C-alpha cells in the first residue's frame, strides 16, 4: 500500500490521539493549579504557625548518625554503563545468596529499607540503591532525565554492574511503579518480585478513569506537574509538609524517631535536593494513554488496607492483568502505605515463605 494512502488512513486516529492528549494536559494543569492553591494555603499556614522557621527549608550541614549504621551494610557507588551517572547504594551479605535489590519511593531513600537490609542479609546479597536524583546519587536537573525508560535502564545497569544476571526485586511506591515496568521490559533480569503499595501505571490509569476517588487520593501528583512551585511549597517552614507526610499519627510512619526523620530530610534539604525526585512525577503523563500490558513475573504483592494514597480496588485490577498462578496478593488489615517501615515483621514473614524455594 502506498505510503501516502497509509498516512491518510491513519490521520484520523493520530488527530484523535493528539486531541485526547491536549485535553488530558489541559485537565492536568487545571487540577494542578487548584492543588497549588490548596497546598499554598497549607504551606503559608505552617509558616504563620511557626514564624521562626521562616519561608525556606533549613539546610542540614551533617547527616544523621543512623545513615552510617554499620549493621545496615557498606556504602558504595556504582558508575552506570549507559548513562555514566553515579548511583549510591548500601550493600550487605555479599556471597550469601541471590541478589535482592531494593527500590524506594518518595519521599524516601535507601534508608527506608533498613529493616529488610538487616533481615535478609544472612541469605541474600541485599542492595538498597538511591535512585537517580536522590541522596548522594547523581541528580541531573533536566526533566527529560527522569523518564521511565531512562530509570529502567538505570536498574538494568545496577544489576549487571553488581555482577549479576538476575535478581529478586523488592519495591515500594515509586520504586514499585518502576519494578512493574522493569519486569515487562527486562523479564530475564527478574527472578521474583516483591511489590508493596504500588501499581503499574497502565493499571493505575485505567482504574482512575473509572474511579474518580482515586484521583482525589493522588491530588499531590497534579501539584508536582508544575515547575519550581512544588519545591518551594514543600520546603517552607523547614519542610513541614514532608514532615507531616512522614510522621502524621494516622497516615504517616508509626514510631519514626526524630533521627530517622532527619535521615529522609537531610538530602532533600541540600540545594536542589527536591528537583530530581519531583521530576519523576513530571514525566508521569508523558505517554498517556498507555496500552494494557500482561504481567508474568512471579510476584508477591502486599497492600495496606488503610493505604491513604491507593485504593484496595487496584489490587483486583492488577490481578486481572496477570498470567494465572503468577501473583500472590495480600491486603494487610489495619496497615497503611508505609509497610516496609511500619510493619516489617509481617512483611518479612510473607517474603520468607514466598522466596523459600529459591533458598532450598
Active-site residue, from 173, 206, 238, 307: 173
User: How does pLDDT run across 97-138, given as a tens digit for each residue?
Assistant: 999 999 999 999 999 999 999 999 999 999 999 999 999 999
The pLDDT of residue 186: 98
Strand partners, 193: 169, 299
Do residues 120 and 355 lie in contact, with contact meaning Cβ atoms separated by under 8 Å? no
- 303 phi/psi in degrees, rounded to 5: -140, 135
**Spatial separation of the C-alpha atoms in residues 229 and 246, rounded to whole Å:** 21
Distance of CA 192 to the CA centre of its chain: 18
Active-site residue, from 46, 125, 337, 350: 337
pLDDT band at residue 7 using 50, 70 and 90 as cut-offs: low
Torsion of CA 282, 283, 285, 289, to 10 degrees: 180
Active-site residue, from 266, 281, 309, 350: 281
Tell me the residue range of the domain where 89 lies: 74-207+293-358
**Spatial separation of the C-alpha atoms in residues 299 and 327, rounded to whole Å:** 5
User: How does pLDDT run across 313-343, given as a tens digit for each residue?
Assistant: 999 999 999 999 999 999 999 999 999 999 9
Q: State the total domains in the chain.
A: 1
SS3 letters across 142-203: CHHHHCHHHHHHHHHHHHHHCCCCCEEEEEECHHHHHHHHHHHHCHHHEEEEEEECCCCHHH
pLDDT band at residue 31 using 50, 70 and 90 as cut-offs: confident
Return the percentage of the chain with pLDDT > 90, whole number.
85
Report yes or no on 269 lying in a domain: no
Cis peptide, bond prior to residue 289, ω within 30 of zero: yes
Q: Tell me, what DSSP letter sits at residue 141? A: -
On average, the pLDDT of the chain sits at 93
Report yes or no on 191 lying in a domain: yes
Q: Which has the closest alpha carbon to 338: 39, 114, 168?
A: 114
Report yes or no on 226 lying in a domain: no
What would the DSSP string read from start to end of 12-64?
Answer: HHHHHHHHHHHHHHHHHHHHHHHHHHHHHHHHHHHHHHSGGG-SSPPPPSS--
pLDDT band at residue 8 using 50, 70 and 90 as cut-offs: low
Report yes or no on 42 lying in a domain: no
The pLDDT of residue 60: 96
Q: Tell me, what DSSP letter sits at residue 71? A: G
Length of the chain: 360
**Spatial separation of the C-alpha atoms in residues 65 and 60, rounded to whole Å:** 13
Indicate the pTM of the whole model: 0.94
Mention every residue, 6+ apart, whose C-beta is less than 8 A from residue 89: 75, 76, 77, 78, 110, 127, 128, 129, 130, 158
**Spatial separation of the C-alpha atoms in residues 110 and 104, rounded to whole Å:** 6
Q: Does residue 48 have a pLDDT over 60?
A: yes
Report yes or no on 81 lying in a domain: yes
Report yes or no on 256 lying in a domain: no
Element (H, E) at 92: strand 86-92
Q: Which has the closest alpha carbon to 148: 290, 309, 263?
A: 290
Q: Is 337 a catalytic residue?
A: yes
The pLDDT of residue 6: 47
Report yes or no on 322 lying in a domain: yes
Report yes or no on 183 lying in a domain: yes
Q: Is 219 a catalytic residue?
A: no
Q: Is 125 helix (H, G, I), strand (E, B) or coil?
A: strand
Q: Which has the closest alpha carbon to 198: 338, 345, 295?
A: 338
Distance of CA 292 to the CA centre of its chain: 20
Q: Does residue 9 have a pLDDT over 60?
A: no
Q: Is 281 a catalytic residue?
A: yes
Q: Tell me, what DSSP letter sits at residue 358? A: H
What is the domain-level CATH number for residue 139? Answer: 3.40.50.1820
User: How does pLDDT run across 219-251, given as a tens digit for each residue?
Assistant: 999 999 999 999 999 999 999 999 999 999 999
Amino acid at each position: 500500500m502506498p505510503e501516502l494512502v497509509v498516512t491518510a488512513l491513519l490521520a484520523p486516529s493520530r488527530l484523535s490521539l493528539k486531541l485526547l492528549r491536549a485535553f488530558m494536559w489541559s485537565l492536568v494543569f487545571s487540577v494542578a493549579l487548584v492543588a497549588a492553591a490548596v497546598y499554598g494555603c497549607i504551606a503559608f499556614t505552617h509558616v504563620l504557625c511557626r514564624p521562626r522557621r521562616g519561608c525556606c527549608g533549613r539546610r542540614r550541614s551533617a547527616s544523621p548518625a543512623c545513615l552510617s549504621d554499620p549493621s545496615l551494610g557498606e556504602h558504595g557507588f556504582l558508575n552506570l554503563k549507559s548513562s555514566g551517572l553515579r548511583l549510591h547504594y548500601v550493600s550487605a551479605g555479599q556471597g550469601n545468596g541471590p541478589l535482592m535489590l531494593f527500590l524506594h519511593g518518595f519521599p524516601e531513600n535507601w534508608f527506608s529499607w533498613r529493616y529488610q537490609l538487616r533481615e535478609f542479609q544472612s541469605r541474600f546479597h541485599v542492595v538498597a540503591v538511591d535512585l537517580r536524583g536522590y541522596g548522594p546519587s547523581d541528580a541531573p536537573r533536566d526533566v527529560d532525565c527522569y523518564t521511565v525508560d531512562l530509570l529502567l535502564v538505570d536498574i538494568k545497569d545496577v544489576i549487571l554492574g553488581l555482577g549479576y544476571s538476575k535478581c529478586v526485586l523488592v519495591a515500594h511506591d515509586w520504586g514499585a511503579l518502576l519494578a512493574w515496568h522493569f519486569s515487562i521490559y527486562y523479564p530475564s533480569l527478574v527472578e521474583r518480585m516483591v511489590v508493596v503499595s504500588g501499581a503499574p501505571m497502565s493499571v493505575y490509569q485505567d482504574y482512575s478513569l473509572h474511579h474518580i476517588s482515586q484521583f482525589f487520593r493522588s491530588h499531590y501528583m497534579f501539584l508536582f506537574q508544575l515547575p519550581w512551585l512544588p519545591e518551594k511549597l514543600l520546603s517552607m517552614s523547614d519542610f513541614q509538609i514532608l514532615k507531616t507526610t512522614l510522621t502524621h499519627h494516622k497516615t504517616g510512619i508509626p514510631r519514626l524517631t526524630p533521627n530517622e526523620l532527619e535521615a529522609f530530610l537531610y538530602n532533600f534539604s541540600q540545594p536542589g535536593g527536591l528537583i530530581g525526585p519531583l521530576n519523576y512525577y513530571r514525566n508521569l503523563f508523558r505517554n498517556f494513554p498507555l496500552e494494557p500490558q500482561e504481567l508474568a513475573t512471579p510476584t508477591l504483592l502486599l497492600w495496606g488496607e488503610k493505604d491513604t494514597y491507593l485504593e484496595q480496588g487496584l489490587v483486583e485490577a492488577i490481578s486481572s492483568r496477570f498470567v494465572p498462578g503468577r501473583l500472590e496478593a495480600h491486603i494487610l488489615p489495619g496497615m497503611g502505605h508505609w509497610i516496609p517501615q511500619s510493619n516489617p515483621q509481617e512483611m518479612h514473614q510473607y517474603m520468607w515463605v514466598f522466596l523459600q524455594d529459591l533458598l532450598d
